[in-house]
Chain A
């Protein structure tokens, strides 16, 4: 039994890979089979995620007594072979990513997965890249999984192309390619100095470097940090985000809500293992603050709902980076909680923008460039429309009555989550952040920083309130004639589901916060992680168990 449970760790990578590859063999018209395969794969990932949550907690000490599970992929022991490592934080991230993937997938089935290109395969590969990045214990392997998820995201972003979307996609790809090169240079420097890429092994070796080597090693780590900050959309490296995210199709940007968090996860993971020093943390604090301020101000200036959501995503990344830069260990638990809430909110909000866009048919476009008529990609190459592609705008599924009331209610819920008002968990997470920043004894010497942090959170919440009420009035109350939107059950259900899940998070805030507290503690005591990874023995029985 335990031997079988050990293999759970690899499932979040293998299942979407197999599902995504298998879909390529299904003919264009076998949509039902493809959708079933996609749903099964995401459900399995969700189940595995929840099981991993349980197994890494203290409630199940029988398999991984210290809450760290190590899986040697090639059955080579740790510093030599690549290992997957699951601890509480990875389990949380995998469950979160599967939750977002499930709701986005259901939403996409309503009508968004229609035209041409292999949406479902790309979607599966993206979740595979995300899960792999959360699980891997090797820096170069982290790079490979980053590339997998980015390559899939390039394809997803270009869906339903028009000139504007292709332009945004081009910028997005160029920025991310440069960031990947930074990643490679950082990894190469770290390998050149420390002679290993295994994160657990690095922790020990970094401490033993001579001062000369250490300087180059730190330079490598800083370059790596730049690559992570591009992914985490930190100010001045985030100008690609609003353009790309607000012009992508609604389910695609909703799935992208998870991607900025990979950068943050990598910062948390590598930062705590390498024990980043004071100056780097201070830099992170000010970069985070700049992200928060610029994102909040941009929210006021944006005129289109999808852009407002993108900037609110930037503001939330700002809060997360600032909190991480404060270097208060007790803040890490609330930071993870806020990250979860922010992912769920942004995802629901992007899906909502996909539905409200259809209420604005009669409006004059507020931002003309966001509304370029979609031109299929094949036109770019002078090809006539292939006959296998169905119409883009087929109406399917059950339409929901009282659509405007529903959309309005969902908008209010999302806005409350972003601003941080009760009863939704945006409030709980922000209160936890503020309370910890106020109360922690470590604040003593850098109280100015934590004062600034608290003021920034409160003011940004207030400005979000103004920006969101304004855009809400414009979308829902404006007098311009509009067509009544048709909202289908399949599109409405995932948004409502995410909001209800958020409500559940508020109700269960106590247990969730305790679990995240434990996750944060194990993150700040990397010794357990290092010991578990380096002492893991290759599995003797695996030859008979693995296929």
Chain B
């Protein structure tokens, strides 16, 4: 599972980096989105990969921490997703504004 997980992150980061270096604003936006997906998956992986483990501790029973998944990265990832979503939406608005004002979708606002 780890190798698939790592490959997925690698592919996302690779495509994301290639896309944000492209000259068209929409490509940059897609690149940023892919990079933020990769980051989110990475944060999630930092809580160690585990299958069939609950993140929330049942206080009524005896608690053995090794039987539970780490809930903190999951909380971090939620926050990161929300913030990433908001800023990406803002970027989209600015992208459209530049397209409307400059008449081109080149990141410099004019064709080279």
Contacts and interface: CB of A to CB of B under 8 A. Distances in A.
A453 to B, nearest CB: 35
B32 interface: yes
A379 interface: yes
Given A184-B43, A184-B80, A167 B108 contact: yes
B11 interface: no
B97 A161 contact: yes
A167 B97 CA distance: 9
A396 to B, nearest CB: 28
A266 B42 CA distance: 23
A161 B101 contact: yes
A180 interface: yes
Contact of B35 (A162, A167, A169, A178): A178
A196 to B, nearest CB: 9
Contacts of B25: 170
Nearest to A163: B101
A33 interface: no
B15 interface: no
B96 interface: yes
A380 B100 contact: yes
B38 to A, nearest CB: 8
Contact of A379 (B32, B48, B101): B101
Interface stretch (A187-195, A292-300, A344-352, A519-527): A187-195
A187 B79 CA distance: 13
A163 B79 contact: no
Contact of B109 (A167, A197, A377, A379): A167
A306 interface: no
B30 interface: no
Contacts, number: 104
Nearest to A157: B94
B76 interface: yes
B7 interface: no
B87 A177 contact: yes
A177 B98 contact: no
Contacts of A151: 86-87, 90
Contacts of A191: 46, 72-73, 76
Contacts of A381: 96-97, 100
A71 B86 CA distance: 29
A368 interface: no
A170 B101 contact: no
Nearest to A184: B39
A170 B87 contact: no
B108 to A, nearest CB: 7
B5 to A, nearest CB: 13
A185 B42 CA distance: 7
A166 B101 contact: yes
A161 B47 CA distance: 43
Interface string B69-112: 00011001001100100111011001111111110000111000
Given A177-B87, A188-B73, A171 B100 contact: no
Given A161-B97, A177-B91, A170 B32 contact: no
A375 B103 CA distance: 14
Given A170-B98, A177-B87, 9 more contacts: A161-B101, A163-B101, A166-B97, A173-B87, A173-B91, A184-B39, A184-B43, A184-B80, A191-B46
13 contacts: A151-B87, A154-B90, A170-B91, A174-B32, A177-B87, A178-B35, A181-B39, A185-B42, A191-B46, A191-B73, A191-B76, A380-B101, A382-B100
